[in-house]
Structure 1
Amino acid sequence: MEEGNSPVDDLTNSDENNENEFSLDPDDVVEVIELGDEDGDISHDVNDMDLQDDEEYDEESEAMRSDQVKDDASVVFSRHSDAVFSVNIDPHEGKMVVTGGQDDKGHIWSVTNGESIMECGGHKDSVTSVGFSFNGMYAATADLSGLVKVWKVETKSQVWSFECSDIEWLQWHPLAPVLLSGTVDGEVWMWKIPDGDCKTFQGHGCTAGVGRILPDGKRLCVGYDDGAIMVWDMKTADVVKTISGRDGHRSTVVCMDCHHDNSMVMTGSTDVTAKVINTSTGKVLSTFKCESVKEGDNSVEACGFCKQQMLAATGTLQGTLSVWDMPTQIIRSKCQHEAGVVRLKWDPTAPLIYTACLDGVVRLWDGRNGQFVNQWSGHTDSILDFDLSKDGETLVTVSDDKTARVFSLHTPDR
């Protein structure tokens, strides 16, 4: 720790460069990023009778589970024929959803009634990453083989595609038609859509497992499989900060969130810790230890900052939601789930936390005291991803049960 500075000072003081306040329009952002013209361009024998019996048993079991589960969903989308891995709600108006699944397809559909808007086909493998551009004009779908496709929603047509190595994540720039993706070989690609102008952020030999564009729209934070975290300048494609070694994680970085004031990121890892990092100095402000007393595998699968108070949350594979007081760096409360926490999101308007779990249930917790508030069920298998609308009124989940579900939220303290 630097002499004269305390963790509380680092967490509460703004950066010297005053980067917390910014105002950029899409044209400014594209000019700042300055995209170049780089070329981018164990086997078991099963007889037919046994297989048929197993299929009949699975169908009967599924039907029994469906009858037993209370369904709180207002809309159910069932056009996927296999597990649904990823989901994103249109950030512009919140009226559309894009989902991707193990059936090698993406779908764009109405959040209001579940009606299909268009099918995003032509993929070679499971579609594991999807997302809308900031204005809802484009939707991107990416599969495990490394094929990325961009679709123009208004014309229901593909306007761009690209192939790279296996894709780990996909994110649109929040202010411009610029798309980024991290790959298994450690590279991060950035494209201007639909022109396709691109640049790359070179890796260091291991998977770029998670990435987030900082709120200033000028920097990118990436977490790697060796536990390192890097902050990149998006204009120059240079690394400006590296957090590694004893300061970094001991193993794979699997989740990340950016603080809304542009000063911090939080990362979660398979080493069962979460770290809060100052994005300007690269200094680790806090390391939250999330170990469980239970035996078995564990990791920090989800993390997030509260917008209303100096609170942060972590969710683990063993089902523990921890709420941390950031100035004191201590746990304020622990909330135990019956199954692993896959994703968490803070409500945009109140200090409330949504958790999605492997038991197929979404739960709501009060971040101020750890009290259980509400829950929504309907899935008959694990939830794999979920998204919350910008106004906090709608939640969409996707599951191993081959469906996506829309839940209308009515919560206290809004």
Structure 2
Amino acid sequence: MISITSAELNYLIFRYLHESGFTHSAFALGYEAGINKSTIDGNLVPPGALVTFVQKGIQYLELEANLSNDDADMDEDFQFLQPLDLITKDVHELQKMIKEKKENLHRDKPMGKERDVAENERGHEREPSKEREKEKQHREKEQEKERMDNDKERATSKDKEKVHEDFTDVKMIGNKTGTRHDENGIGGEPEPMEICTSSTSLPFEIPSSDVMVLEGHTSEVFACAWNSSGSLLASGSGDSTARIWSIGDGPSSSSTQSGPANVMVLKHFKSRTNEKSKDVTTLDWNGEGTLLATGSYDGQARIWNRDGELVSTLIKHKGPVFSLKWNKKGDYILSGSVDKTAIVWDVKTSECKQQFEFHSAPILDVDWRNNVSFATCSTDTMIYVSKLGENGPIRSFSGHQAEVNAIKWDPSGSLLASCSDDATAKIWSMKQETCLHEFREHAKEIYTIRWSPTGPGSNNPNKQLLLASASFDSTVKLWDVDVGRFLHSLNGHRDPVYSVSFSPNGEYLATGSLDKCVLIWSVKEAKIVKRYSGSGGIFEVCWNKEGDKLAACFANNIVCVINVRM
């Protein structure tokens, strides 16, 4: 039996309706909603999303058809209903709105000679004749079979939805479905699409001459990180390799780098026979930029020098390693695994210093607070703060209602931010067990968070400390942590946002999404200032230390280095 994804099913239905003459924007909205939903939950059929939008589109077409002839004299730019009305209101509410707006229109319509003058000035076109419409339908019927065959071939191709489903299986385990559940049961009505009403000017497209494309990986690139010198960029991929790219100083060029002189390949397998299941899921440079640590789906952590030589292999985990971090001093590495444990490794001896077994489910993220204490989060909804030498957690944070995807300490190490599938971000302090602030502005799962490099403990101590959160609702939101206040919603992406990164001075924020776009925002103005459109979904973005280059890793096997000219 041949199976297709919900995105492919939605596409077939959308194309069929569109080519049968149903061209109203409601159908486009329905198709877009179906695609966005399917890229998140991975289910074969999104719960009623497309059907609801199509139904409302048909109802709206019926309402339009029932308008009186007098209504044909209105401005062609005039609209009784907005797209958001179609999504959020039923047909009876729509009829009522149209009736009221028609009455207002008739009341305000110019009379007599003034009406005739206005009519002539508009000069708008009329509907196509019935004969022309019949001819069009006949022509489309003759081509229907050929088009549907083309649609089927196009819909069954592997695109970003398949990439996302594969990555979700690896990175976001724990029975994650991505479907929002309401308090009264599972599923429910489809969520309204967030309509971007921002009046910001169109972003400046980054020219290809400012982008260096790094080719060589043969599978999705999940992670990337610059070393402290800013000249070396590491990337980790599903092809069981990490790579260290030598970028050099000065502006990037549009040339493609793939030769051996520009890259060191760090193989996480000994032969082609055991190449499978060794995806490089995470990586991190030490503070000096001389050693690179990688975590793999095979459960091993590895340390490499900047020349790409394997220094040591850290073996003790019994499941995939999803997160690892160097401490600031550089003598310990912290790793978190699907085996529910976190391990602190002694870099000098390559041995396990201490294993922490507090969680009851896989660990998704880890982060050092200082050189000897750290936090871990899990699909068990818990966050634990632990310390070397202690047999139990020194602090336990509970409050999230679903798995916790990411945790990050602020630059001073006094505040811990977390984000979850429950669509909330929380701020925690070691001084109390309950959260200081809870942020609830997102509509869907929050995948990752980042602190601005500002405020106490940072290189920009006189600037305001901010938190950025990236969500499956396609938005990034900025928060004032001092008072626990929502600041801005950055509405520029069309698909889930997987990565955010502040520039070193804190003035800009880069975001990467499955919609294949890298956006650079002015933090102060909350506006897009640069945009780069790639050819694959984006899993991570990161700035170099100078803030003049931005790296992005893509689902179509490439890494891009963008020369940022502000």
Distance (whole Å) between structure 2 residues aligned to residue 155 and residue 271 of structure 1: 40
Asked whether the equivalents of residues 274 and 290 of structure 1 are also in contact (C-alpha less than 8 Å), the reply is no
Distance 1:400 1:189 in 2: 30
CA gap of 1:161–1:217, structure 2 versus 1, over 3 A, is: closer
Matched to 2:436, the amino acid is L
Counterparts in 2 of 1:43 and 1:149: CA distance versus 1, 3 Å: farther
Deviation at 1:193, TM superposition (A): 1.8
Q: Is the 8 A contact 2:314 2:351 kept in 1?
A: no
Cα offsets for 1:97-143 (capped at 9, x unmatched): 11111111111111238454421113352111122222222212222
1:256 paired residue number: 407
Q: Does 1:311 align with 2:466?
A: yes
Q: Does residue 180 of the first structure (1) align with residue 326 of the second (2)?
A: no
String of CA shifts for 1:133-184, please: whole Å, max 9, x gaps. 2222221222212122222224734433425222121111122132111011
Q: What's 1:120 paired with?
A: 266
Q: 1:236 to 1:331 in 2, by over 3 A?
A: same
Q: 1:270 aligned to 396, 421, 425, which one?
A: 421
Letter in 1 for 2:285: F
The corresponding residue for 1:391 is 546
Q: What corresponds to 1:408 in structure 2?
A: 563
Q: Which residue of 2 aligns with 1:18?
A: none
Q: Distance in 1 between matches of 2:209 and 2:464?
A: 30
Separation of aligned partners in 2, 1:228 and 1:129: 21
Q: Give the root-mean-square deviation of aligned CA atoms.
A: 2.9
Contact preservation (8 Å) 1:72, 1:407: no
Q: What is the deviation of 1:73?
A: 4.8
Q: For residue 390 of structure 1, give the secondary structure of its aligned residue in structure 2.
A: coil
Structure 1 partner of 2:503? 347
Runs of 4+ in 1 over 6 A off after TM superposition: none
Gaps of 5+ in 2: 4-152, 161-205, 270-276, 455-462
Which residue of the other structure, out of 282, 294, 304, is the alignment partner of 1:141? 294
Q: How does 1:287-298 map to 2 (within 5 A)?
A: 287-292=438-443, 298=444
Contact 2:241 2:265 in 1 (8 A): yes
Q: Is the 8 A contact 1:185 1:203 kept in 2?
A: no
Q: Does 1:224 align with 2:378?
A: yes
Contact 2:218 2:239 in 1 (8 A): yes
CA distance in 2, matches of 1:407, 1:129: 22
Larger radius of gyration: 2
- The equivalent of 1:78 in structure 2 is 215
Q: Which residue is equivalent to 1:170?
A: 324
TM-score between both structures, scaled by the size of structure 1: 0.76
Aligned match of 1:90: 227
User: Which deviates the most, 125-134 or 267-276?
Assistant: 125-134
Whether the aligned pair in 1 keeps the contact of 2:418 and 2:449 (CA below 8 Å) is: yes
Question: Is the Cα–Cα contact under 8 Å of residues 223 and 283 in structure 2 kept in the other structure?
Answer: yes
The alpha-carbon distance between structure 1 residues 291 and 132, as it changes in their structure 2 partners (threshold 3 A), is closer
- The structure with the greater share of residues assigned to strand is 1
Cross-structure match for 1:371: 527
Q: 1:161 to 1:230 in 2, by over 3 A?
A: closer
Count of residue pairs brought into register by the alignment: 346
Whether the 8 Å CA contact 2:359–2:382 is kept in 1: the answer is no
In structure 1, runs of 5+ residues without a counterpart are: 1-41, 45-53, 62-68, 293-297
Alignment partners' CA distance in 1, 2:526 and 2:364: 30
The structure 2 residue matched to 1:159, chosen from 303, 312, 337, is 312
TM-score where L is the length of structure 2? 0.57
Relative contact order, CA 8 A, sep 6+: which one is greater?
1
